[in-house]
């Protein structure tokens, strides 16, 4: 199994599914059903928001590899409340993500 699992989370799969439906509806709009363009674009924006909210709720992951025990796409990240280090989504939500100090007790 690969150590990199970007997007293999509940947030990633849900966002991908909603975005794909939005692209399909926008494509139908381009071929003639004009409201479909706007509905599809709205669904794509909704996909971004749903993915972000699920990520902040712990159903996503931060950048980089996860520990081997948390690689299942259904595993919830309980440390997401404090934010992931180097994660743009967490920074946009005001979560800083403190890097782990080696050998130091908090």
Residue 43: what pLDDT?
97
Pick out the chain residues at pLDDT < 50. Answer: 100-106
Give the angle subtended at the CA of 41 by the CAs of 32 and 7, to the nearest 5°. Answer: 130
Contact (CB, 8 A) for 90 and 62? yes
Residue 105: what pLDDT?
43
Spatial distance between the Cα atoms of 34 and 12, rounded to a whole number of angstroms: 29
Q: Compute how many other C-beta atoms are within 10 angstroms of the C-beta atom of residue 99.
A: 8
């Amino acid at each position: 199994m690969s150590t990199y699992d970007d997007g293999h989370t509940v947030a990633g799969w849900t966002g991908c599914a909603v975005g794909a439906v939005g692209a399909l509806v926008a494509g139908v709009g381009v071929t003639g059903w004009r409201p479909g363009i706007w509905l599809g674009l709205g669904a794509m924006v909704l996909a971004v928001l749903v993915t972000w909210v699920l990520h902040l709720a712990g159903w996503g992951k931060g950048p980089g590899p996860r520990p081997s025990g948390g690689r299942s796409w259904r595993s919830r990240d309980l440390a997401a409340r404090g934010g992931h280090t180097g994660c743009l989504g967490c920074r946009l939500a005001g979560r800083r993500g403190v890097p782990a100090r080696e050998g130091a007790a908090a």
